[in-house]
Structure 1
Amino acid sequence: MTTTGNQFTSLRNSDVGVWTGRGCCLRLLQVLSTCIAFSLVASMGTWRGDIGNFSLFIWCFCFAMTLIIIIVEWFGLQRRFPFFWYNVPITFACYFALLCLSASITYTTTFVQFLPLSPNRDRAIAAITFSCIACVLYGMEVAWIWDWYELGSNPCYVHTIPGLLKVLETLVACVIFAFISNTNLYLHQPALVWCVVVYSICFIQAAVAILLKLFKLKYTLPIPFPIFQVGLTLLSVIFYSSAMVLWPLYQFDEKLGGQAQRSSDGSCRDDLTYYVCAWDQRLAVAILTAINLLAYMADLVYWARQVFVKD
């Protein structure tokens, strides 16, 4: 293998065949687990609720993308993308591990526990089990790729601190989008609409940063990539700081039309519901906003040190 043409295979050359076999087995098990999970939930009918639909989307997406990765590597198509493919499998594996974990937790706590004893409850529990298995399998793939890549000469992006932070930022934003799919939470108040705009803009910025790294396009920028990152991340911190103030203020302050107590929300009074009530959605978005603000602040500190602190 040449150093330039096949940098994406920064696995130790003598062990590529072993890794290929292990990787193929892992991904086949991942495809099987996610396929069984979404098939079980789909068989429950259309009344599975918002959380059921959200979890169903996660398992379908993980299944489809893992199958595409298998096809690409099975037919050797990754050789057409020698400068960025080595980042793709582990990046998706990181996302899928976290997505399957979040689906397992939310589906259990907001849906399954309210189901009466029935075949549908058994299907839901089985779906959670296979979702957890898929999470473990994706985690194993991340750990094994981490060990097999020679990180010194050609590190994967998600092996770095900013890469992991970008994965966290975009994933948390996706979960926020799932909760704010209920437009009744914010359309009545311009300040809350601004918060939704903030989540969208910052998600796009983080996704652009990831794509620039994955596709080796950072050198096409007119300014150095660290300075570019400082600017984008600082903007995200400012935007998220405004959302951190406005979202709780207008959602929970009664003087501004919010609801301070969960009991005041009529949609939360019935325990036997198959969806997250509006007040819980508001609280979840507030918590996730705080998490992402901390992630962006840590990201800003990292890039500021790269730009302004000289060793």
Structure 2
Amino acid sequence: MPVIALEARDFTSSLFLVRTWEVLSGCTTFSLVASLEPSELNKNSSNHQHLNTLRIFCMFSWCFFFTLTLLIHILSIMQFHSLIPISWKNLTMTAAVLGALMYLTASVVFPCIVMAHQRATPRLVAAVVASCTTFLGYTSESYVLHTQAQELRGYMGSMPGLLKILQVWGGCHMIPLIVEGVLGLPTFAHSWQLWVSSVSYSVCVLMSLVTLVVILGDFAGRCFLPFDKLLAGFSLIGVLLYMVATVICFIKILQQRDLGQRIPPELVILETVVASITLLAYTVDLAFSIKLLCDRSHK
């Protein structure tokens, strides 16, 4: 068992302060949203019922990263992280960067889907401000971790690792968007688009989860294939699938404009933006993977 020998500087370090900031601000965020009256969230619900899933997704993001950050904070203070069979440096970097991205999206999506359609109550405004504050906390932690030496921030702190986190972020957002697509699908004619998009996003999410498990568990040396070639294959598949999904997104936009379909415009725009950003992440990641393979082949 590790010996707990905390000193005063442990409570004044940059990581301790920003993680405390994240925990307090994150708790404030989901507590304010949870305390909202149904009337504050469900005004004009007959016209915007399709946005319930996105509100739930924002709440899940706030609660999940609050819990994860609290656990990381406690383990770091008690110095028990060495007992966990997980790459601690990769876990903390992943939690910080992905938390910043998820809070950024929630801070943009939540006011758009709730406050734009009703009177902005003080608690709603306070929840949005708290979410933005928590985003700044995760951004600060990401910067602090990124300024550490490479051996301290791990693979996820490198450019390819950050691209992997961006891919996970994109995949996480496609789940509620697909659910909303199912609930708001106006005609059966769009079912092929829904199925193709769902398969593309699902495969990419699965690949991202496998990559995270391998990296966080330090299983790279145990893979049945060379890990760098496996990552290159995942990146290539991700580029192809997201190219298809992005084209479908633009088709939805054209159909909505030309045919007057009743697809919620905010969902189509959000899906197109996220798909385009994720496609760019996979493309750049593929370029890094090809460069790495070429460099190793010349040695």
Cα distance between partner residues in 2 of 1:290 and 1:67: 32
1:126 aligns with 2:126: yes
Structure 2 partner of 1:230: 232
Cα distance between partner residues in 2 of 1:39 and 1:240: 36
Structure 2 partner of 1:304: 290
1:98 aligns with 2:98: no
Higher helix share: 2
Cα 1:252–1:29 shift into 2, 3 Å = closer
Kindly provide the amino acid, as one letter, of the partner of residue 76 in structure 2.
Answer: E
Q: Say whether the 8 Å CA contact 1:93–1:138 is kept in structure 2.
A: yes
- Say which of 22, 33, 39 aligns to 2:25: 33
**Per-residue deviation, 1:17:** 7.1
**Per-residue deviation, 1:167:** 0.8
Cα 1:154–1:70 shift into 2, 3 Å = closer
1:140 aligns with 2:137: no
25-34 vs 90-99, which moves further = 25-34
Cα distance between partner residues in 2 of 1:72 and 1:174: 26
Q: Say whether the 8 Å CA contact 1:265–1:279 is kept in structure 2.
A: no
Cα distance between partner residues in 2 of 1:18 and 1:292: 40
**Per-residue deviation, 1:161:** 1.1
**Per-residue deviation, 1:110:** 3.0
Q: Say whether the 8 Å CA contact 1:163–1:210 is kept in structure 2.
A: no
Give the SS at the match of 2:256: coil
TM-score, normalised by the number of residues in structure 2: 0.83
224-233 vs 179-188, which moves further = 179-188
Kindly provide the amino acid, as one letter, of the partner of residue 174 in structure 2.
Answer: I
Superposed CA RMSD:
2.6
**Per-residue deviation, 1:70:** 2.0
27-36 vs 185-194, which moves further = 185-194
Cα distance between partner residues in 1 of 2:228 and 2:73: 34
- Say which of 156, 166, 170 aligns to 1:172: 170
Cα distance between partner residues in 2 of 1:110 and 1:155: 36
Cα distance between partner residues in 2 of 1:54 and 1:208: 22
**Per-residue deviation, 1:160:** 0.8
Cα distance between partner residues in 2 of 1:98 and 1:244: 20
Structure 2 partner of 1:271: none
Cα 1:146–1:288 shift into 2, 3 Å = closer
Structure 2 partner of 1:150: 149
Cα distance between partner residues in 1 of 2:265 and 2:86: 46
**Per-residue deviation, 1:43:** 1.3
Structure 1 partner of 2:45: none
Gaps of 5+ in 1: 1-5, 7-15, 267-276
Cα 1:46–1:19 shift into 2, 3 Å = same
**Per-residue deviation, 1:75:** 2.9
Cα distance between partner residues in 2 of 1:203 and 1:115: 34
Q: Say whether the 8 Å CA contact 1:90–1:158 is kept in structure 2.
A: yes
Give the SS at the match of 1:222: coil
**Per-residue deviation, 1:84:** 0.9
Cα 1:164–1:44 shift into 2, 3 Å = same
Cα distance between partner residues in 1 of 2:174 and 2:140: 27
Cα 1:289–1:66 shift into 2, 3 Å = same
1:61 aligns with 2:82: no
**Per-residue deviation, 1:179:** 2.0
**Per-residue deviation, 1:73:** 2.2
Gaps of 5+ in 2: 42-50
Cα 1:261–1:55 shift into 2, 3 Å = farther
Cα 1:190–1:130 shift into 2, 3 Å = same
Structure 2 partner of 1:199: 201
Cα distance between partner residues in 2 of 1:303 and 1:81: 30
Give the SS at the match of 1:236: helix
Cα 1:53–1:38 shift into 2, 3 Å = same
Structure 2 partner of 1:260: 257
TM-score, normalised by the number of residues in structure 1: 0.80
Kindly provide the amino acid, as one letter, of the partner of residue 143 in structure 1.
Answer: Y
Q: Say whether the 8 Å CA contact 1:192–1:247 is kept in structure 2.
A: no
Cα distance between partner residues in 2 of 1:242 and 1:28: 42
Cα distance between partner residues in 1 of 2:134 and 2:155: 23
1:193-249 CA-to-partner distances (Å, cap 9, x unmatched) read 121111011111122112212221111112221111111111111222222233433
1:282 aligns with 2:281: no
